[in-house]
Amino acid sequence: MIISHGNGLATLYAHLSQVLVKANDVVKVNAVIAKSGNTGRSTGPHLHYEVHQNNTPVNPKLFMNL
């Protein structure tokens, strides 16, 4: 699943067992959008997460308050 945040920013979520939103839905902050899963060649349930700026991958830590 890819969510466009505007201004060329997008987040990608993969290895999902269930997607809880539809294309063009407006998603609110803290909304549950999907459930992690064990798809593809993974060895256990997990979330594959990427951040892209203008179609270029960037470090997701730059967007997290850790």
Full-model pTM: 0.82
Q: How many domains does the chain have?
A: 1
Whole-number pLDDT of residue 43: 85
- Mean of pLDDT over the chain: 92
User: Is residue 59 helix, strand or coil?
Assistant: coil
Q: Please report whether residue 53 resides in a domain.
A: yes
Provide the residue range defining the domain that includes 34. Answer: 2-57
Per-residue pLDDT tens for 3-13?
999 999 999 99
Which parts of the chain are beta strand (E)? 2-6, 9-14, 16-19, 34-36, 48-53, 56-58
CATH number of the domain where residue 36 is located: 2.70.70.10
Q: Please report whether residue 40 resides in a domain.
A: yes
What number of other Cβ atoms are within 10 A of residue 1's Cβ? Answer: 13
CB 33 within 8 A of CB 23: no
- In the numeric block, which tokens belong to residue 57? 């991958």
Q: Please report whether residue 26 resides in a domain.
A: yes
